[in-house]
Structure 1
Amino acid sequence: MIVEEKLLAYPVPEIRTEVRWQDVALYNLSIGLGQDPLDRRQLPFTYEPEIRAMPSMAVVLGYPGFWVKAPETGVDWVKVVHGEQSLILHKPLPASGTLVGTTRVTGIVDRGAGKGALIYSERVVRDEATGEKLATIEQTTFARGDGGFGGQPGPVKAPHPEPAGAPEVTLDLPTRPEQAAYYRLNGDHNPLHIDPDVAAKAGFKAPILHGLCTFGVVCHALMRELCDYDPAKFGRMDLRFSSPVYPGETIRTEIWREAGGASFRARVVERDVVVVSNGLFRFA
């Protein structure tokens, strides 16, 4: 069971990540870039002469791993799912170097017995050599099995409002059946995404795609449609995960342009299920 004071003070390890161009290429491939070998706009994200990091790669840099699995957190890790994700990119990510991620728990919300708990955390990624801040990543973890521990019922982070009317732009990006196995190589080793038995215990028919892989696919869509694949134009991206994606499904990103950026959501084409909602994008 969660003990609020203990979890708020939990010492999430500070992590140093040595980044090589091969790591950048692996991440980009793991979120689906390179599936069209003739698309020259994607080539710099997979080809080493001018390799570029996708903004969403920040979520795997300085990543402390699936730390809620540690027994001392008190979290029922089998029932944990990703709730919300926010990324602020302070400057384009380097394609090589040593980066440091510092993570802390910033809040816990008890939704009540049988309703789960929300765990808010923040990670700041810096360049070790210069100390320069590169990205700030905020995450909401939905601990489905941990409500009713006697914690505070709020405050709950307010989501970005859903847009009205038909989207101005839609883009379909396919995922591959083995994509979760590739994405795990970025350091997210939650067995929910590869072990059918663990997935079944969590209530899923099969291993599901990492929420952060879905995040990367949607980031790709925003980079393509709004930024012309230029990481320097990317400022911020927030979203809420509404439903899981199964590897092999097609993710359709729907975009409404607005001053300073856009609102967006995403759905799985094959099941017509919204998988990402309340999306906010802002230019740098």
Structure 2
Amino acid sequence: MIRARKQLQRRSSAFFAQGTRAEAFDDFKRAVFYNGLQGFCGFHAGMDWRTMVPRPYVKYFPALVQQDKVPMVVHFIDGKKDAVFILARDAKDCGQVPTQPTDEPKRAASSSIMGKIFPPGMTRRPLRDLVLARSGDKGGNANIGFWVRDESAYAWLQGYLTSQRVKELLGDDWDAKYQIERCEFVNLQAVHFVIKGILQDGAAGYKYPPIKCSYNRRDVLLFANAIGVPKDSLHLLYELHPAFAAFPTFPINLAFKQTDQDIFDFIARTTTGGVPGVPPFDAQHGLDLEVRGRVIGVYDKGGAMILEAEQTLVDANTGVEYTKMASTAFGIGQGGYGGPRGPTKSAVSIPATTPDAVHVYHTTETTALLYRLCGDYNPMHADEEFGKRAGFQGSILHGLGTWNIAAQGLLREMGGSDPRRFKSFGARFKSVVYPGDTLVTRMWRVGNEGNFDLILFETVVKEDGRVALSNGFAKILQRDAKL
């Protein structure tokens, strides 16, 4: 593969070449040199051929590999023992790490040891001359290890560095809700501590920097078209309609779009209204908006880590909050670090009865291409090869595209397409959707909460029955309730 750098074309040409065989570059080198001399008047080439010597390169893509395909082996440095093969555990078997016994020193530290290491008398030396340390983190826990340069100082380290001493050294950072585990590695002359929970609060409650965002009526109209709002809901599609309003989930994309009015490089930069107690979302005028995010909690589920976060759309000038958007990120293989398990959420049980309403939406080959204009320009939703490299059949529909199409269908069937009746909505992404798939959203009324109907739903792909959205729930203001 040869690529010319167009910006340098007038002055010179620079080429980047890749090949599967190193020998092919000899032919390429000769072709460039001799064809240039014979075919271009005034041709000049640098004579340092080292720039044309092929060098190996590595291409890699992140991927998940089954644990049993990656055997773990422990080799002993002294060579006196055979290597030990350790079978990988199934992620389902990875649970909460039990509290380990704390190993406290049996005698206090003695400063007389120092005389054997340093010259007699008071001396000032860097701490590293006596003790080395390392630290790390695993989820909400901190790991701290200390070891000595001189084995004669180990007895002092053992006696001095107690769990109580670590609490004192932490000062105001220590809290009684944390737990300390202490253990000694005598053969390494080391003392190790695990402080459970000390980093957990650093995540929970963390506030992300505010994201400036803006929108105009064109953005509102584009979003409504992208999620398939039909023409009979003209109040969501026509800015001069007397009841013109933004679709309630419109703010979900503002954190992607931000203040941009043009397409941006996704990789390089990688509302409700009319409901009592919720301010109306003004679809007619642009506001000075910010998306403010914070971490709710980070939880250890054994085989995985869960991060719950919340984003709030706020008027930066008045502080008025328009909507809250909660999300849950699932980190496969990141659990098992001893952090809090967090609250247990029961799965939504879909009724076995006939749905109260069904919404069918036929996506097209251009659905994702239209939806990405709302602000999410990830090439995975436009480039077939990019999608294949990520392990899919090709480009895929945005997860939030499916999510918003389901929201549009639910409000239409259960709320008369009236955005003022839309209180809350949520679902879990279950499977990818490809442009051209038919989305079927089935809905059940399962009760009420005050003047709101409680609704469960799921979205499936008609062609093969796979579930695209599960654990779906919504609250819709009842038809006869006062707006």
| TM-score normalised by length of structure 2 | 0.48
Q: Check conservation: 2:359, 2:410, Cα contact below 8 A.
A: no
1:119 equivalent among 287, 301, 307: 307
1:244 equivalent in alignment to 2:435: no
In the other structure, the counterpart of 1:82 is none
Superposed, 1:28-43 pairs within 5 Å as 28-34=224-230, 39-41=231-233, 43=234
**Residues in 1 aligned to 2:342 and 2:472: alpha-carbon distance in whole angstroms:** 22
Distance (Å, rounded) in 2 between the aligned partners of 1:193 and 1:151: 36
Say if 2:97 is the partner of 1:97: no
Summarize the Cα distance change of 1:235–1:46 in structure 2 as closer, same or farther, 3 Å threshold.
same
Structure 1 or 2: more strand by fraction: 1
- 2:409 aligned residue: 221
Q: Which residue of 2 aligns with 1:27?
A: 223
**Does the alignment pair 1:165 with 2:353?**
yes
Per-residue displacement from partner, 1:210-267 (whole Å, max 9, x unpaired)?
A: 1111111011111111111111111111212221111221111111123332211111
Corresponding residue for residue 74 of structure 1: none
- Structure 1 CA distance for aligned equivalents of residues 395 and 345 of structure 2: 29
- Partner residue in 2 for 1:234: 422
With over 3 angstroms needed to count, the CA separation of the structure-2 counterparts of 1:9 and 1:169, relative to structure 1, is closer
Work out the CA distance in 2 between the residues paired with 1:270 and 1:278: 21
Q: 1:150 to 1:239 in 2, by over 3 A?
A: same
Name the SS of the counterpart of 2:240 in structure 1. helix
Specify whether residues 116 and 110 from structure 1 end up closer, same or farther in structure 2 by C-alpha distance, changes over 3 A only: same
Cα distance in 1 for partners of 2:380, 2:138 equals 21
Instruction: Give unpaired runs (5+ residues) of structure 1.
Output: 72-76, 78-86
1:142 to 330, 333, 338: 330
Say which SS state the counterpart of residue 104 (structure 1) adopts: strand
3-state SS, counterpart of residue 218 of structure 1: helix
Tell whether the 8 Å contact from 2:248 to 2:272 is kept in structure 1 after alignment. no
| Cα distance in 2 between the residues matched to 1:153 and 1:119 | 11
Is the alpha carbon distance of 1:189 and 1:141 closer, same or farther for their aligned partners in structure 2, counting shifts above 3 Å?
farther
| 2: CA distance, partners of 1:199 / 1:222 | 29
Contact 1:253–1:264 (8 Å) recurs in 2: yes
The answer to whether the 8 Å contact 2:257/2:374 transfers is no
* Identity across matched positions, percent: 33
Aligned CA distance change for structure 1 residues 196 and 151 (closer, same or farther; 3 Å): farther
Report the number of matched residues. 260
Q: TM-score, normalised by structure 1?
A: 0.79
Taking a change above 3 Å as real, the CA distance of residues 235 and 218 of structure 1, as seen in their structure-2 partners, is same
Deviation at 1:122, TM superposition (A): 0.3
- 2:332 and 2:387 map into 1 onto residues whose CA distance is 14
**Alpha-carbon distance between aligned partners in 2 of 1:13 and 1:64, rounded to the nearest angstrom:** 16
Secondary structure at the aligned position of 1:103 is classed as: strand
Which has the larger displacement, 148-157 or 162-171? 148-157
Say whether the 8 Å CA contact 1:250–1:269 is kept in structure 2. Answer: yes
Instruction: Please report how far the alpha carbon of residue 279 of structure 1 lies from its aligned counterpart in structure 2 after TM superposition.
Output: 1.5
SS in 1 for 2:411: helix
Match of 1:48?
239
Could you tell me how far 1:169 is from its partner in structure 2? Answer: 1.2
* AA matched with 2:459: A
Q: Indicate the residue corresponding to 1:17 in structure 2.
A: 213
Distance of aligned partners of 1:117 and 1:249 in 2 relative to their CA distance in 1, 3 Å threshold:
same
